[in-house]
Copies of this chain bind each other. A is one copy, B any other.
Amino acid sequence: MAKETSKRHVYLEDIPLDEAQAAFQAALAAAGWWQPLEVEEVSLAQAYGRITAQAIWAKLSSPHYHASAMDGYALRAQDSEGATETQPLQFTLVENWDTPPTEPRPIRPVNTGHPLPPWANAVVMIEHTQQVVLGNGRSGIEIRASLPPWHHVRPMGEDMVATELVLPANHKLRPVDLGALAGSGHATVPVYRQPRVAIIPTGSELVAAEKVAESGIQPGEIIEYNSLVLAAQVAEWGGLPTRWPIVPDEFEAIQTAVRQAAQDHDLILLNAGSSAGSEDYTADVVQSLGQLLVHGVAVRPGHPVILGMVGSDKVTRGQGDKVTDAPVTPSPGHPVTLSPGHPFTPIIGVPGYPVSAALTGEIFVEPVLARWQGQRPFQPQTIQATLTRKVNSHTGDDDFVRVAVGEVNGRFVTTPISRGAGVITSLVRADGLVRIPRFSEGADMGSEVTVHLYRDPRDLARTILAIGSHDLTLDLIAQFLAERGAGRLASANVGSLSGLVALRRGECHLAGSHLLDPETGIYNQSTVRRYLPGEDVVLLTLVGREQGWLVPAGNPKKIAGWAAAAREDVQLVNRQRGAGTRVLLDYELGKLGIAPEQVRGYGREEYTHLAVAAAVVSGTADFGLGIQAAARALKLDFVPLAHEQYDLVMTRQTFESERIRPLLDLLNDDGFRTAVAAMPGYDVSVMGNVVTVNGR
């Protein structure tokens, strides 16, 4: 024990982001690495997407001769003088090429692209001619209009003249560029070598996804996927990633892997072990092989970043090697060439949390790969949006907040996705990032912020934003809309009441709600009237569904009825305040006269049905209130207690908008209704019912 804890480095540095980046760039520059990589010639068939390393000048003119621009006949323009519709002129068909024909008015067939005979200087389109037999019995062609010189001729160099600039340097090659290169006499093109990036996952607790799929997973084991994300990022940014097999948390093993990677890679991403725990060896490994530049950057997520340079015994390294999934071992048979004069290889210790790892890629890796390929760092598109919640930030840190963005009533609104750095789905679902700069304490609700978008802003214009209670049907809607390419549904789960508040504030298009009015037994209407007074609102029923106790399979504690909530031998997991399920529970407990204090676990709040189910599965709670589908999802038993109604609440303006139409179509769609009805406890007979509140 003492040994384990004594090895811990307790403190990380807090280098400001810009200083950390500057220190890394300075170290790269000192090693001659802060510039584009070497040039390699690739064939045009392999060049799509690569980046020109030099300006490319035309080697040939295009066309490289005077060419016919039409299918027709070549002639001398001056011979056509005087031809009119009523007084056509007759030409004699000849086969002469170099030798000027002796016939008066010679004419020769040419197809598009054919060279013009040197004696000719114009082309008449075949459509404007007629075949005739001449007086002398020879074949002839009649034309009915005079032609200017160079008519329907593509003069030499019309497209490109030899020595002209075809493409500048640092240009990412598009399909048409390959045509221009070939057309100007090039068969290859000089491009920057692609950066080779080694990605080394470390951690004794890590298991590969393939192994998990084959043989399952044990508590404490973690599925290794940061290397997948980092490798795809590297590929996206033009690099060649090499994924290492998982290296256990052993100093020597990690050191060996880094030393090996340094031999034939331009950059090493070591993930993770970059923090200061007892098994965090990255800093020590970097120090043992070179120089630790930065350990800890004042950025969140992503704080425990390491930046450094490691030495290696360099060997020459080849260019244009293929991506491999296994480390490349240099061997005499497979010689590799490396930029001369780089005794050190840059290394980035990437934090282990998946959100931190992905953002470290964007913040630290992308600018280096861009520089090595003659590009400026990627600048995402930005929009201005109104913040719907206050964001707090550590004063000393640059804070990258994942946000959802919606376009509601013609303005952009944005909501932080307030989940931890371990939640990869917060990045998957994010529409963008808001950067809260250092020395700022955050951003207030209602303030305008700049969102760096992950998504084409046009996608936002066709996105329906739902904030409110969660129901699995919303997932199905999202899936069906995506499958049909008919729009997009983004949803945030905050509970019924918070959804109605968001709707009132114009922060979403619709709010999922299942709020029971205890006095009338009618769902949603009275609350909507209270929260959206005077607003012309439509309540569109999505489903009827069953609520009940979620209990472990076999219901070992025999939990039954609402009264079970007060039992002393069982532990509840509750929903958050404002959730419709919580309202239902409180209502039923009230009817039975059970006070919250009598319910063990009443204070433990989760935000979704599935989170409640997960708590029961894990054994940290004995039961919770939720829908049957959540029970089935996690193989729990379900004790039915009540039927309820789940509505989508929206303004009439939204209800009648084009944006919402694909969703309305879906509610009448047999395939969709069947899919919903297949979920246990779901009643689709009420689907599509409309009630108006405060309506006209």
**Does any Cβ of B come within 8 Å of A2's Cβ?**
yes
Residue in B closest to A60 when the chains form the complex, CB atoms = B217
Binary flags per residue of A601-640, CB closer than 8 Å to B gives 1, else 0: 0001000101101110111100000000000011000000
A275 to B69, CA, bound (A): 13
Segment with Cβ contacts to B, from A220-228, A504-512, A531-539: A220-228
Q: A71-B275, A114-B220 are in contact. Are A165 and B352 (CB under 8 A)?
A: no
Please tell me if A445 contacts chain B, counting CB pairs below 8 Å.
no
Contact flags A190-229 to B (C-beta < 8 A → 1, else 0): 0000000000000001001110111001011011111011
A165 and B425 contact, CB distance less than 8 A:
no
Is the CB–CB distance between B154 and A420 below 8 Å? yes
Cα A278 to Cα B114 in complex, Å, equals 12
B614 touches A232 (CB 8 A): no
Cβ < 8 Å to B, chain A residues 416-444: 419-420, 422-425, 427-428
A239 close to B (CB within 8 Å): no
Closest to A619 in B: B118
Nearest CB of chain B from residue A607's CB, rounded to whole Å: 10
Interface assignment of A30: CB less than 8 Å from any CB of chain B:
no
**Candidates B2, B219, B482; contact of A170 at CB < 8 Å:** B482
Q: Is the CB of A155 within 8 A of B428?
A: no
Whether A389 is near chain B, meaning CB under 8 Å from some CB there, is no
Residue in B163, B175, B219 whose CB lies within 8 Å of A633: B163
Q: Does A146 contact B (CB under 8 A)?
A: no
Chain B residues with CB under 8 A of A188: 213
B354 and A179 contact, CB distance less than 8 A: yes
A55-B479, A158-B422, A182-B223 known; A167 and B428 CB under 8 Å? yes
Structural contact, B482 and A179, CB atoms closer than 8 A: no
A332 at the B interface (CB under 8 A): no
A157-B611, A183-B225, A614-B157 as given contacts; A634 in contact with B483, CB under 8 Å: no
Interface with B: A371-379, A648-656, A688-696, which one?
A: A371-379
Q: Are A634 and B163 in contact (CB under 8 A)?
A: yes
Partner of A428, one of B149, B157, B180, B423: B180
Complex Cα–Cα for A205 and B178 (A):
20
Interface residues of A in 307-358 (CB under 8 A from B): 325, 352-354, 358
| A635 closest partner in B (C-beta) | B162
| Residue A678 CB within 8 A of the other chain | no
Contacts of A277 in B (CB 8 A): 71, 111-112, 126
Q: Which of B160, B175, B478, B615 touches A165 (beta carbons < 8 Å)?
A: B478
Q: Which of A42-50, A281-289, A513-521 contacts B (4 or more CB under 8 A)?
A: A42-50
CA distance A177 to B222 in the complex (A): 17
Asked if B229 contacts A376 (CB within 8 A), the reply is no
Assess the B233–A175 pair: CB atoms within 8 A.
yes
Q: How far is the CA of A66 from the CA of B479 in the complex (A)?
A: 29
A626, chain B: closest CB distance, angstroms: 12
A500 in the interface (beta carbon within 8 A): no
Chain B residue numbers with a CB within 8 Å of A220 are 65, 114-115
A559 is an interface residue with CB less than 8 A from chain B: no
Contacts A205-B114, A229-B179, A618-B65 given; does A185 touch B212 at CB 8 Å: yes
Number of chain A residues close to chain B: CB under 8 A = 138
> Which of B160, B217, B229, B276 is the one whose CB lies under 8 Å from A175?
B229
Residues B479 and A374 in contact, CB atoms below 8 Å apart: no
Q: Does chain B have a CB within 8 A of A545?
A: no
- Given A205-B113, A633-B163 in contact, is the A168-B618 Cβ separation under 8 Å? no
- The stretch among A3-11, A20-28, A257-265, A562-570 that forms the contact with chain B is A3-11
**A485 at interface, CB cutoff 8 A:** yes
Q: Verify if A19 is at the interface (C-beta below 8 Å from B).
A: no
Q: Bound state CA distance, A236 and B10, in angstroms?
A: 49
In the complex, A673 has a CB within 8 A of chain B: no
Q: Using A45-B325, A235-B48, A611-B157 as known contacts, say yes or no to A187 and B210 having CB atoms under 8 A apart.
A: yes
Q: How far is the CB of A154 from chain B (nearest CB, A)?
A: 5
| Contact assessment for A278 and B111 in the assembled complex, using a CB-CB cutoff below 8 Å | yes
Contacts of A168 in B (CB 8 A): 478-479, 481-483
1/0 per residue A126-138: CB within 8 Å of B?
Answer: 1100010000000
- Cβ of A305 < 8 Å from any Cβ of B? no
- The answer to whether B162 and A633 have CB atoms under 8 Å apart is yes
Residue-wise, chain A 372-394 has the 8 Å CB interface mask toward B (1 for contact) of 00111001010000000000000
Report A277 CB to chain B, min CB distance, Å. 4
Contacts A187-B212, A615-B155 given; does A160 touch B485 at CB 8 Å: no
Give Cα distance in the complex from A632 to B182, angstroms: 23
Q: A358's closest neighbor in chain B, by CB?
A: B176
Q: Does any Cβ of B come within 8 Å of A450's Cβ?
A: no
Question: Using Cβ atoms and an 8 Å threshold, which residues of chain B touch A186?
Answer: 209, 213
Contact of A178 among B229, B425, B620 (CB under 8 A): B229
A55 in contact with B10 (CB, 8 Å): no
Nearest residue (CB) in B for A221 is: B64
**Which chain B residues lie closer than 8 Å to A180 at the CB level?**
424-425, 428
Interface on A for B, CB 8 Å cutoff? 1-2, 4-5, 8, 10, 43-45, 48, 55, 60-67, 69, 71, 93, 95, 109, 111-115, 118, 121, 126-127, 131, 139, 149-150, 154-171, 174-183, 185-188, 205, 208-210, 212-214, 217, 219-220, 222-226, 228-233, 235-236, 243, 275-279, 325, 352-354, 358, 361, 374-376, 379, 381, 419-420, 422-425, 427-428, 458, 475, 478-479, 481-483, 485, 604, 608, 610-611, 613-615, 617-620, 633-634
Q: A1-B93, A66-B620, A159-B419 are in contact. List 14 more A-B contacts (CB 8 A).
A: A5-B131, A10-B126, A45-B231, A48-B235, A65-B220, A69-B420, A161-B613, A165-B475, A170-B482, A175-B229, A175-B236, A176-B354, A187-B209, A375-B485
Q: List 7 A-B contacts (CB under 8 A).
A: A1-B109, A48-B231, A66-B618, A157-B610, A168-B481, A175-B233, A178-B225
Top 7 closest A-B pairs, CB basis? A168-B482, A157-B614, A182-B225, A163-B633, A187-B213, A175-B232, A161-B610
